């Protein structure tokens, strides 16, 4: 069996695809159950966060495993396989281990170095253990990933390379102002009471907000979180819980809203947000929902033609004239028929004209009429030409009175809120854009070295573990041979006393142990090296070991490990 991971993240897929592919808690459970029921997979674990969805499995066939895991992800996410496939990545064996260790250290996070992913990995392992979909490989892998992540944070300054997604989001809302100064005395509304929402509430409380209101579908969880905040020794924030039905009213009071729920639809619509801030800015924010007017360009320099609408009533059709012509030159009107030129002359003089269809002719236009038009232009100063409209200054947007942070996937807050006057919205998509340019600390290189070392150590341990049942079976067989020979000796020497029998038994066992010591130690060393998996097969063949005996040893080890796993992840 071999480790395989198939997934997508903010690095491989746009936020819109991640949003649609997100898995509810029930969908994750069903995905795990269906994965271990599939033929190629023996174990399974799902790591689903706001910016990644990954399915880990122990498979016996690579290509069949990739096909099966990809299909299952598509089925349970609701995104068609053909649409999902371009955004999927696949890691196998050591590369899969390297990927999870990098994720655990925060190297693959949207905000490099954030530590919240460790809690999410721990939750994924606990879910797989509860459903009995994690066997020895995935338990070892996820347990080690947690240790590697903790080591990275304790031995390096990776925390300085980034912050939690919550902190980063608040920094984006604050627009360069220190979060503590920006948040001071504000009133905050937190929607949801899960791990991310709890972290947001605690971060806001430590940042100095005056009040934190928790709204959640389960009132008890909201009350418990509010109580924790109120009892905290490091803050004196006022915290209270409200039902979800109170959110519209709380929007009229809140300065900051953070939302992160497991809802599949919008929690806050643009209309609800507009209604909440309407009285604060003295206008209907809904008016700002209209698409903004496109930016206008400055009027073209005098003497050039432009691509905008002609001046009203002008009968001259300059659509076919090459740009850049001189308004005083004959090239401006060359090739136009006399009737059109007459109309233009009359229009310049202020007369009303009916526009006629212009008929392009050759370069032999009426020179007399061209001269007349040129004379008119010299008096008026120009040949009226098509112009772009003058730029219209847009009224400045009012300063935000409501700051929204949407950390949910799929989104909780209507993206149309971006266009509401008096509102600033930061969501997963804008965080992804902002984090692309975030500086990375030098400690990242040190964490990468830790990951590489830990991957090598994990691989060696796993390869060595694969040969252990074979070594145990070999020593068991040797012990059985010794016991059989001692029994045969007793039959041949029935008068042998206990003292001599015990000495002979110890001698035979020492001989067998010495003969087996060097090869078994060496085979474990060789098996721990890359490509050492074949040594177990060689040992079984050389000593004619019963495959069922080896398998029974493996089952006994797994049974012992499962009893330990029931105590939960480290």
3-state secondary structure of 54: strand
Do the beta carbons of residue 183 and residue 207 sit within 8 Å? yes
CB 41 within 8 A of CB 29: no
> Which 8-state DSSP code applies to residue 393?
P
Is residue 114 within 8 Å of 444, Cβ to Cβ? no
CB atoms within 10 A of CB 368: 10
CA gap 272, 254 in Å, rounded: 13
Can you tell me the distance from the alpha carbon of 352 to that of 338, in angstroms, rounded to the nearest whole number?
17
Q: In what order do the strands lie in the sheet with 89-92?
A: 41-49, 52-59, 2-9, 89-92
Active site residues: 50
- Known binding site: residues? 49-52, 109, 114-116, 120, 192-197
CA distance linking residue 241 with residue 163, whole number of Å: 27
- Binding site, annotated residues for NADP(+): 192-197
Point out the annotated binding site for substrate.
Answer: 49-52, 109, 114-116, 120
Residue 470 buriedness (CB in 10 A; 0-12 / 13-18 / 19+): buried
Beta carbons within 8 Å of 461's beta carbon, 6+ residues apart:
140, 528
Kindly provide the b/e burial profile for residues 379-388, where b requires at least 16 CB atoms within 10 angstroms of the residue's own CB.
eeeebbbbbe
């Amino acid at each position: 069996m071999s480790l395989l991971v198939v997934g997508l993240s903010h690095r491989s897929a746009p936020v819109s695809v991640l949003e649609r592919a997100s898995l509810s808690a029930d969908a994750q459970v069903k995905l795990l159950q269906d994965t271990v029921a599939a033929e190629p997979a023996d174990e399974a674990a799902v790591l689903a966060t706001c910016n990644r969805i990954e399915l880990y499995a122990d498979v016996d066939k690579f290509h069949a495993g990739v096909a099966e895991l990809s299909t299952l992800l598509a089925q349970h996410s609701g995104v068609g396989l053909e649409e999902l496939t371009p955004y999927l990545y696949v890691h196998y064996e050591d590369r899969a281990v390297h990927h999870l260790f990098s994720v655990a250290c925060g190297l693959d996070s949207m905000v490099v170095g954030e530590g919240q992913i460790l809690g999410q990995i721990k939750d994924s392992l606990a879910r797989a253990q509860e459903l009995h979909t994690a066997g020895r490989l995935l338990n070892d892998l996820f347990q080690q990933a947690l240790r590697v992540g903790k080591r990275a944070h304790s031995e390096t300054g990776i925390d300085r390379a980034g912050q939690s997604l919550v902190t980063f989001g608040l920094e984006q809302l604050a627009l360069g102002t220190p979060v503590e100064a920006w948040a001071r005395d504000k009133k905050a509304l937190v929607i949801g009471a899960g791990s991310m929402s709890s972290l947001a509430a605690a971060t806001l409380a430590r940042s100095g907000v005056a009040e934190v209101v928790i709204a959640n579908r389960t009132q008890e969880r909201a009350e418990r979180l509010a109580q924790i905040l109120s009892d905290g020794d490091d803050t004196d924030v006022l915290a209270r819980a409200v039902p979800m039905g109170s959110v519209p009213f709380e929007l009229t009071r809140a300065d900051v809203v953070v939302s992160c729920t497991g809802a599949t639809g919008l929690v806050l619509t643009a209309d609800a947000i507009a209604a909440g801030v309407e009285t604060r800015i003295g206008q209907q924010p809904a008016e700002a929902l209209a698409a903004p007017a496109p930016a206008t360009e400055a009027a073209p320099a005098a003497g050039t033609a432009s691509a905008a609408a002609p001046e009203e009533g002008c009968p001259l059709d300059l659509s076919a004239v090459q740009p850049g012509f001189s308004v005083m030159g004959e090239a401006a009107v060359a090739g136009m028929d006399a009737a059109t030129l007459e109309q233009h002359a009359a229009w310049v003089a202020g007369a009303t004209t009916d526009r006629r269809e212009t008929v392009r002719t050759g370069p032999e236009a009426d020179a007399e009429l061209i001269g007349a038009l040129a004379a008119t232009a010299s008096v008026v100063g120009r040949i009226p030409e098509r112009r772009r409209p003058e730029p219209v200054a847009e009224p400045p947007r009012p300063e935000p009175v409501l700051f929204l942070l949407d950390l949910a996937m799929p989104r909780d807050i209507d993206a149309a809120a971006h266009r509401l006057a008096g509102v600033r919205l930061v969501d997963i998509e804008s965080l992804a854009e902002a984090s692309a340019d975030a500086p990375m600390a030098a400690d990242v290189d040190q964490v990468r070295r830790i990951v590489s070392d830990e991957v090598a150590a994990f691989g060696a341990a796993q390869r060595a573990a694969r040969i252990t049942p074979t070594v145990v079976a070999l020593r068991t067989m040797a012990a059985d041979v010794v016991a059989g020979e001692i029994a045969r000796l007793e039959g041949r020497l029935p008068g042998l006393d206990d003292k001599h029998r015990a000495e002979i038994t110890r001698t035979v066992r020492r001989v067998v142990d010495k003969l087996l010591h060097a090869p078994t130690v060496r085979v474990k060393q060789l098996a721990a090296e890359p490509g050492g998996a074949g040594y177990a097969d060689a040992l079984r063949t050389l000593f004619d070991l019963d495959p069922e005996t080896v398998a029974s040893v493996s089952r006994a080890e797994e049974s012992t490990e499962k009893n330990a796993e029931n105590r939960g992840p480290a």
